Amino acid sequence: MSSSRTAAGRRGGLFERLPLWLLAALFIAVLICWNMAADADYTAIFVTVRKGVAVTLYVSFIAYALSLLAGLVLGLWRVSRCRLLREAATFYIEIVRGIPMLVILYYIAFVGAPGLVDALNWLLSPLIEAGLTARISVRSLDFTWRAILALTVGYSAFIAEIVRAGVESVAAGQMEAARSLGLSRWQAMRKVVLPQALRNVLPPLANDFVAMLKDSALVSALGVQDITQLGKVYSASTFMFFETYNVVAFLYLVMTIGLSLCIRGLERRRGCGPVRL
């Protein structure tokens, strides 16, 4: 009798934990996949657009990794005791966060990248004049890397604020206790404060990665052959806008929902589960 009640309780608990929204999403995904397999037009669109998945993931992963590094440095500068570092980081963060991502993309691609190339040529001018190296051409920096650089510039400002908030969420007594044990300020930050801050900032950092994956669609404005660009070109040539953008939206949903599920699993493993009211 007790075993049957236990089994019923487990089934009830499993039903309560079952993500019904995910079942609904999977049902819709199955219907879309079935429609794609049965319809020749959808199949042709999918075969064409899926080539951009690798470019979208490549741009997103590289840009996010660079944003994490830059954001970590800027976030630590924001909580530094050196006023010059604090002011420099605050200036960068406030300026960049106030500019739309698409404007940053255009600015880096058509202003920042040529300026960077000119600066490198100026630094290498003695070697260029001596014939030891050739001048760097602006075209050597392709638009994919210009887009990655633009996303890095934009998202590093947001990640810096996340890092700052995470560090400040750790009680000041943790730093004082670490310093009293003989650790330097950097050792205390690296071994005591940052590990605790990581647990607090993991959910917003993960959400920023999902947001970057979606914002990577902006790189199509530079002609980068991602999912959105391939869909735009295909729909313009076939006039099948409804079908094409259905496939584009479906591919983005598969990637973002898959990443969200992985993030939630990671949060549960680190004890960052949701609070029920």
106 burial type by CB count under 10 A (0-12 exposed, 13-18 middle, 19+ buried): middle
Q: Around Cβ 52, how many Cβ atoms within 10 Å?
A: 21
pLDDT digits (tens, 9 = 90+) for 165-196: 888 887 777 777 777 777 777 777 777 777 77
CA 88 to chain centre: 24
pLDDT in tens, 70-127: 999 999 899 888 899 999 999 999 999 999 999 999 999 999 888 888 888 888 888 7
- Average pLDDT for 249-270: 81
pLDDT tens, position by position, 199-258: 788 888 888 899 999 999 999 998 899 999 999 999 999 999 988 998 899 899 888 888
**Predicted model pTM:** 0.81
Locate the domains of the chain by residue range: 21-265
Out of 98-102, 131-135, 160-164, least confident range? 131-135
DSSP letters for 165-192? HHHHHS-HHHHHHHHHTT--HHHHIIII
Chain centroid to Cα 210, Å, comes to 6
Q: Which CATH class is domain 21-265?
A: mainly alpha
pLDDT at 154 over 90: yes
Please give the backbone phi and psi of residue 213, each rounded to the nearest 5 degrees, phi first.
Answer: -60, -40
Cα separation, 242 vs 84, in Å, equals 53
Cα separation values, 272 from 20, 265, 267, Å: 21, 10, 5
